[in-house]
């Protein structure tokens, strides 16, 4: 590969969304001249969210994609160099770090901030994708408010599904909870809470066949995978809680991760096990997974990167 395809930068930010853009804002203000590659989904998960009502500062709420445009514009105004492109490979063996963009261009960076996020796991139904944002959601904490006083369904059997079902139960009339097997994976304490909540109705051995609706969700068709009995349940909201997948594959072998693939950071910081590489947002957060916490950790990553570069005498 010719040397002219290699570009040297001080700080490379991999991924957009609240974490990446916040890191870009802070890094640009610190005169680190950050370069940000937006990744496969510029703006991250919020671009597939409709109304965002829980982000501070937007008194009347805002559409997710519009909010990400605001974040991007602010980062750009501060001087961040924002580009289309996907990081496809990294080499963190020595500094400067090497990052391949779209498998061809190489960036050499003194510090790297990872903000690649996580992707919700979906059931794989056509109707699920078509109605995503129109009654279908992968985040009860984000979207439960819109279904206050209505009937909703949730699919999932782990702690996250149990937590989200309990959260929804405080807002809606009934939660129809579909579990594929005859047992839940959730911890005993979470299961007990679900069983004791009167407006959560559990359907064991149940598969979701189709989410019904034209412009918005109106019902869900389910089938008992033991008896074959099918039924259609009227609902306004359908929540998928079968887990998230952190977008961390290209960092495997370089960075310490947990069993699910979330990048481990030193508690209270954004530092990874590789000095000079920082992780922020949902790629390292499986607990909160909110736009506001992602933005906060992006800020932390930029400040950590600035201190690291200053200590090295690079900045």
pLDDT reported for residue 159: 87
pLDDT reported for residue 48: 65
DSSP 264: P
The residue with tokens 């019904």 is 212
Work out the widest C-alpha separation in the chain, in whole angstroms: 69
Active-site positions? 139, 142-143
Cβ proximity of 298 and 115 under 8 Å: yes
What residue ranges define each of the domains in the chain, with the CATH number in brackets?
Answer: 3-119+244-312 (3.50.50.60), 122-240 (3.50.50.60)
Residues 227 and 247: their CA atoms lie apart, in Å, by 38
Q: Could you give the percent of the chain with pLDDT greater than 70? A: 97
Arithmetic mean of pLDDT, 204-230: 97
Confidence band of 40 (pLDDT split at 50, 70, 90): confident
DSSP β-bridge partners for residue 174: 151
The average confidence (pLDDT) of the chain is 94
Higher pLDDT, 45 or 272: 272
Residues 115 and 118: their CA atoms lie apart, in Å, by 9
Confidence band of 289 (pLDDT split at 50, 70, 90): confident
Arithmetic mean of pLDDT, 138-144: 88
Cβ proximity of 34 and 135 under 8 Å: no
**How confident is the model over 155-176, as pLDDT tens digits?**
999 988 999 999 999 999 999 9
Its pTM stands at 0.81
pLDDT reported for residue 44: 78
Cβ proximity of 166 and 192 under 8 Å: no
Confidence band of 122 (pLDDT split at 50, 70, 90): very high
pLDDT reported for residue 54: 87
Question: Is residue 43's pLDDT more than 50?
Answer: yes
Question: Is residue 4's pLDDT more than 70?
Answer: no
Question: Is residue 267's pLDDT more than 60?
Answer: yes
Confidence band of 313 (pLDDT split at 50, 70, 90): confident
Lowest mean pLDDT among 11-20, 44-53, 135-144: 44-53
């Amino acid at each position: 590969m010719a040397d002219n395809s290699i570009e040297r930068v001080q700080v490379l930010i991999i991924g957009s969304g609240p974490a990446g853009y916040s890191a870009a804002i802070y890094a640009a203000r610190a005169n680190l001249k950050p370069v940000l590659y937006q990744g496969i989904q510029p703006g991250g998960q919020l671009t597939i969210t409709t109304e965002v009502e829980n982000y501070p500062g937007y008194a009347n709420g805002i559409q997710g994609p519009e909010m990400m445009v605001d974040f991007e514009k602010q980062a750009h105004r501060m001087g961040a160099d924002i580009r289309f492109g996907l990081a496809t490979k990294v080499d963190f063996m020595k500094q400067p770090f090497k990052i391949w963009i779209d498998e061809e261009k190489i960036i050499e960076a003194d510090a790297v901030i990872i903000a690649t996020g996580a992707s919700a796991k979906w059931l794989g139904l056509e109707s699920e994708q078509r109605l995503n944002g129109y009654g279908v959601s992968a985040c009860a904490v984000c979207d439960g408010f819109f279904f206050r006083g209505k009937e909703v369904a949730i699919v999932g059997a782990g702690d996250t599904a149990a937590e989200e079902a309990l959260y929804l139960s405080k807002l809606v009339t009934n939660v129809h909870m579909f579990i594929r097997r005859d047992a839940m994976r959730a911890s005993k304490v979470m299961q007990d809470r679900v069983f004791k909540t009167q407006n959560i109705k559990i359907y064991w051995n149940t598969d979701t066949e189709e989410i019904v609706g034209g412009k918005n969700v109106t019902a869900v068709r389910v089938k008992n995978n033991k008896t074959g009995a099918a039924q259609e349940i009227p609902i306004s909201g359908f929540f998928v809680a079968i887990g998230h997948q952190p977008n961390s594959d290209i960092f495997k072998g370089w960075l310490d991760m947990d069993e699910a693939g979330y990048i481990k950071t030193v508690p209270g910081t954004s530092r990874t096990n590789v000095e000079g590489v920082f992780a922020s947002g949902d790629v390292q957060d499986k607990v909160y997974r909110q736009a506001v916490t992602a933005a906060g950790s992006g800020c932390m990553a930029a400040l950590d990167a600035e201190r690291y570069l200053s200590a090295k005498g690079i900045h």
